[in-house]
């Protein structure tokens, strides 16, 4: 069995489930089958070998991908991920979610995603830099501020974005920092971008609690994953008086009935690298985190975490998908039967790309907004997106789930744009 096939077997294939979800949404919305024809295949998918000179003098060639799914709304947009478990199918699915996400939240971008298959934490800083620059040399011709704009994702950060901006600008022989978002402030970054995905999840959770008639204040929060998204969301919940009672990462978790001290936990993670060993709560396993008695659960780690085998144990009333694709289709069904509201990823975590859009706009204008302007615009966008999607779901999808509603709402908008661009010769509807 090839490594690729092995990895696909390990995880539920998210490309297969995404395609089936898109097809179902298109059928429910009575849209033309041509819409599915356009969405089922990325417009471009590129795989490259990325040669890197390692510290010991050897050369290692890593596999890199960039998937440009659809650009009916504007330049392709989406993160660049460094992870050993990445497969070509997972990158295709992730790029499709970006198309749906941008459409849903109303930013004028298409969907893209890229990755390098690597264990990035084992690389030295120099190796990471060389690998990133090599990726840009291999793929730079299909990137650009009006073509395709990467951003941070799992195990990539503002520094990686700065290397991309620099390498791309060198190749173009002019500063062209709008080629990436999520940059450091010193080279055209946007205040609040780093926290934006977590902040967006917080706004959406507050809206969901209101829609579901659960008092938001004092609601108990559990968060799986304590990277950028999980930790920033935790800070906001705690500051708003919502006790964060459990948190976990790959090393394990911690639990405290009255709420964890999030600032202390962040200090501990910064010092040790992991949640494990934090003295301000009792140790729990990653698996137990999902089943703690809480009001709102945020899966903020990787794909396929809530599955047919653990979904029955979830006690939260609302699941806010801070990560991309954390819930399998089988788990979706169980959560629906148990009357648990799942706020789908393409809505819940769209705060990141929303502030990426703000950054790109500022780069285009050579102007920068202050933090309160960024956060205010983010809040407006997230609240509007939640209300639009929830309203659409309540009107059109009763008996189904909010994910189906979000897909339908998003694909309707894509279909409208395709229609006006002349891509649907037989009309929008079936």
Question: Which residues are catalytically annotated?
Answer: 113
Q: Interhelix angle for 158-172 vs 125-139, to 10°?
A: 40
Cα 250 from Cα 352, distance rounded (Å): 22
Q: Which residues contact 294 (CB under 8 A, 6 or more apart)?
A: 220, 221, 222, 245, 246, 315, 316
Q: Does 344 bind ligand GLU (CB under 6 A)?
A: no
Phi-psi region of 74 (alpha: psi -120 to 50; beta: other; left: phi over 0): left
Nearest residue relative to ligand GLU (C-beta): 79
Q: Which residue's entry shows tokens 């304590």?
A: 226
> Quick one: which of 248, 291, 356, 362 contacts ligand GLU (CB under 6 A)?
356
Nearer to ligand GLU among residue 64 and residue 79 (C-beta) = 79
Q: Does 224 bind ligand GLU (CB under 6 A)?
A: no
Region from 71-79, 159-167, 269-277, 367-375 binding ligand GLU, contact rule CB under 6 A: 71-79
Cβ atoms of 317 and 212 within 8 Å: the answer is: yes
Q: How far is the CB of 341 from ligand GLU (least distance, A)?
A: 21
Q: Does 153 bind ligand GLU (CB under 6 A)?
A: yes
Q: Does 79 bind ligand GLU (CB under 6 A)?
A: yes
Cβ atoms of 209 and 216 within 8 Å: the answer is: yes
Nearer to ligand GLU among residue 190 and residue 334 (C-beta) = 190
HSE (side-chain half, CA atoms, 13 Å) at 405: 23
Region from 74-82, 271-279, 302-310, 362-370 binding ligand GLU, contact rule CB under 6 A: 74-82
Write each residue from 178 to 217 as x if it is in contact with ligand GLU (CB under 6 A), else as -, in one continuous string.
---x------------------------------------
Q: Does 228 bind ligand GLU (CB under 6 A)?
A: no
Q: How far is the CB of 155 from ligand GLU (least distance, A)?
A: 11
Buried b (16+ CB within 10 A) or exposed e, 153-177: bbbbebebbbbbbbbbbebeeeebb
Which residue ranges make up the site for ligand GLU (CB under 6 A)? 77-79, 151, 153, 181, 324, 349, 352-353, 356
């Amino acid at each position: 069995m090839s490594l690729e096939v092995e990895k696909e077997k390990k995880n539920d294939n998210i490309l297969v489930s995404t395609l089936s979800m898109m097809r179902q949404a298109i059928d429910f919305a009575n849209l033309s089958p041509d819409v599915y024809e356009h969405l089922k295949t990325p417009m471009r998918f590129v795989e490259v070998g990325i040669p890197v000179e390692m510290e010991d003098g050897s050369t290692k060639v890593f596999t890199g991908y960039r998937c440009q799914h659809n650009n009916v709304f504007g330049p392709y947009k989406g993160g660049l991920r460094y992870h050993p478990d990445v497969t070509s199918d997972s990158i295709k699915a992730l790029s499709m979610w970006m198309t749906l996400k941008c459409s849903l939240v109303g930013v004028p971008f298409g969907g893209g995603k890229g990755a390098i298959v690597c264990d990035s934490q084992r690389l030295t800083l120099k190796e990471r830099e060389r690998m990133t620059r090599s990726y840009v040399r291999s793929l730079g011709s299909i990137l650009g501020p009006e073509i395709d704009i990467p951003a941070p994702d799992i195990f990539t950060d503002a520094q990686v974005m700065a290397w991309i901006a620099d390498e791309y600008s060198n190749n173009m022989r002019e500063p062209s920092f709008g080629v990436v978002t999520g940059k450091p402030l010193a080279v055209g970054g946007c205040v609040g971008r780093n926290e934006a995905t977590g902040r967006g999840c917080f706004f959406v959770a507050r809206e969901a609690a209101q829609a579901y008639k659960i008092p938001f204040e004092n609601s108990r929060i559990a968060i799986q994953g304590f990277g950028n998204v999980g930790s920033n969301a935790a800070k906001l919940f705690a500051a708003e008086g919502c006790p964060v009672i459990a948190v976990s990462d790959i090393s394990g978790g911690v639990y405290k009935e009255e709420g964890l001290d999030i600032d202390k936990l962040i200090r501990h993670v910064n010092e040790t690298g992991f949640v494990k060993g934090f003295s301000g709560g009792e140790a729990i396993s990653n698996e137990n985190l999902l089943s703690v008695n809480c009001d709102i659960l945020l899966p903020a780690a990787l794909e396929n975490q809530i599955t047919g085998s653990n979904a029955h144990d979830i006690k939260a009333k609302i699941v806010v998908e801070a990560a991309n694709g954390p819930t399998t289709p089988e788990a979706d069904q169980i959560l629906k039967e148990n009357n648990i509201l799942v706020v789908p990823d393409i809505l819940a975590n769209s705060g990141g790309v929303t502030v990426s859009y703000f950054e790109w706009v500022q780069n285009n204008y050579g102007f920068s907004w202050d933090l309160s302007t960024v956060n205010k615009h983010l809040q407006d966008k997230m609240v509007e997106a939640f209300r639009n999607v929830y309203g659409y779901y309540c009107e059109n999808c009763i008996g189904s789930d909010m994910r189906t509603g979000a897909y339908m709402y998003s694909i309707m908008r894509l279909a409208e744009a395709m229609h006006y661009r002349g891509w649907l010769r037989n009309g929008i509807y079936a």
